[in-house]
Structure formats: structure tokens, C-alpha cells
């Protein structure tokens, strides 16, 4: 018998997926579709259709690392955590900040 006392529940009391479970599902599906693994998720938001998140990935690794080409993807998920769409929002060098 496995002790699950330290494991995080995958669903809330209402039966919804937890934010952590959603992030895991989105990451796995995005990697499978694009081959790109998210380094960070700066946005996670519930919508009428499910969830939307933004994932930051390395599209082209360069040396030095600050010159790597990054991309920000928008990922849409249904309420069950199934990826329903994704699109690249922008590309930028890792060391560049947004213009004010």
C-alpha cells in the first residue's frame, strides 16, 4: 500500500483539476506537440472555455545563453486540462527586456 499523505491532490473538492495539475498537463502536451519544454509560465487564467496560460520556451539555444532565442506561447486548455490550441505570441533574445 502506498502512502499518499505527501502527494498533492490532482483535483479540488469541486472536482476541478488543481492549477498544478493543469500546468503539468499543459507542459506535457506542449512538449509532445512542439518539442519545446516551457521554462516558465508567467500567466495562468481561468476562462469561460477552460484555461489559458502563457509558456516561455527556448526556441534556439545559443552561446552565450543570454543570446538564446526565446518565445512566448499562449496555450488554451479545456476544463479537463486537454490542450485545445496554442500559438506563438512573440520571439525575443533572452537578454532583451520589453520596451516601455
Which of 1-5, 42-46, 88-92 is predicted with the least confidence, judged by mean pLDDT?
A: 1-5
For residue 41, which of 29, 53, 49, 32 has the smallest C-alpha distance? 53
Q: Is residue 44 part of a domain?
A: yes
Q: Is residue 26 part of a domain?
A: yes
Q: Is residue 84 part of a domain?
A: yes
Q: How many domains does the chain have?
A: 1
Beta bridge partners of 45: 52
Q: Which residue has the higher pLDDT, 74 or 8?
A: 74
pLDDT in tens, 46-92: 999 999 999 999 999 999 998 999 999 999 999 999 999 999 999 99
Q: Is residue 45 part of a domain?
A: yes
β-pairing, 38-46 vs 83-93, is unpaired
Q: Which domain holds residue 32?
A: 19-93
Q: Is residue 58 part of a domain?
A: yes
Amino acid at each position: 500500500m502506498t502512502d499518499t499523505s505527501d502527494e498533492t491532490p490532482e483535483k479540488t473538492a469541486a472536482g476541478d483539476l488543481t492549477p498544478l495539475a493543469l500546468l503539468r498537463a499543459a507542459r506535457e502536451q506542449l512538449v509532445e506537440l512542439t518539442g519545446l519544454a516551457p521554462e516558465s509560465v508567467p500567466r495562468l487564467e481561468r476562462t469561460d472555455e477552460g484555461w489559458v496560460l502563457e509558456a516561455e520556451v527556448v526556441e534556439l539555444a545559443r552561446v552565450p545563453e543570454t543570446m538564446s532565442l526565446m518565445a512566448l506561447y499562449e496555450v488554451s486548455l479545456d476544463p479537463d486540462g486537454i490542450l485545445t490550441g496554442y500559438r506563438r505570441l512573440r520571439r525575443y533574445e533572452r537578454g532583451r527586456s520589453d520596451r516601455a
